[in-house]
């Protein structure tokens, strides 16, 4: 939201800005150094607040943002004007479709080839994900085809693991 803050600061009689979360006051361009603020829990709980060490909230986005900024700041090329504007935003999307919409709305850029080049530039900054981190189930395991298919899968797994276990029809007790 820093571009909006910058516009607000340029209005008449605006000498300082205040952060609504931490009640800190910034004079002139000092607001640009304010990157991290207190959480709502910390604000409202006061002395009872205990920071969680296991919380990784925002860390994935922070890593993404840091790597993207590093690539964008070192970029020298024909899209430099758009890249300079993009550096001013702190919420660059990680998904391509969201990124395309973000570029169209924020930078007012509607040329698909230039958007694609920007995406490729940003994507080159994506941190490599470890293979074990993204364990996705296969489409075969995900789809639920009913009890018969589920039993077939279980029997198939059992056959490959140990000895064969044949299908037997259930008798109706009547």
Span 14-31, pLDDT tens digits: 788 888 777 788 887 777
Asked if residue 25 is part of any domain, the answer here is yes
pLDDT at 133: 47
Same-domain check for residues 83 and 119:
yes
Which of 40-44, 115-119, 154-158 reaches the highest mean pLDDT? 115-119
**Confidence band of 111 (pLDDT split at 50, 70, 90):** very high
Same-domain check for residues 31 and 79:
no
Same-domain check for residues 21 and 65:
no
Number of domains in the chain: 2
Same-domain check for residues 78 and 37:
no
What's the pTM?
0.45
Asked if residue 20 is part of any domain, the answer here is yes
Same-domain check for residues 67 and 26:
no
Same-domain check for residues 34 and 63:
no
- SS3 of 120-170: the string is HHHHCCCCCCCHHHCCCCCHHHHCCCCHHHHHHHHHHHHHHHCCCCCCCCC
Same-domain check for residues 64 and 103:
yes
Span 1-16, pLDDT tens digits: 667 777 777 777 778 8
Asked if residue 144 is part of any domain, the answer here is no
Q: What residue numbers bound the domain in which 116 lies?
A: 59-123
Averaged pLDDT of the chain? 77
Asked if residue 70 is part of any domain, the answer here is yes
């Amino acid at each position: 939201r820093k571009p909006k803050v910058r516009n607000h600061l340029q209005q008449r009689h605006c000498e300082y800005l205040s952060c609504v979360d931490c009640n800190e006051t910034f004079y002139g361009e000092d607001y640009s150094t304010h990157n991290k603020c207190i959480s709502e829990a910390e604000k409202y709980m006061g002395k009872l607040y205990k920071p969680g060490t296991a919380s990784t909230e925002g860390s994935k986005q922070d890593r993404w943002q840091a790597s993207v900024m590093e690539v964008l700041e070192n970029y020298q090329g024909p899209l430099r004007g758009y890249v300079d504007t993009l550096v001013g935003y702190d919420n660059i999307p990680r998904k391509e479709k969201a990124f395309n919409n973000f570029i169209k709305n924020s930078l007012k850029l509607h040329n698909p080839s230039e958007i694609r080049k920007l995406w490729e530039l940003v994507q080159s900054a994506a941190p490599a994900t470890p293979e074990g981190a993204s364990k996705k189930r296969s489409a075969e395991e995900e789809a639920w085809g009913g009890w018969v298919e589920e039993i077939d899968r279980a029997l198939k797994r059992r056959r490959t693991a140990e000895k064969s276990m044949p299908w037997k029809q259930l008798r109706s007790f009547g």
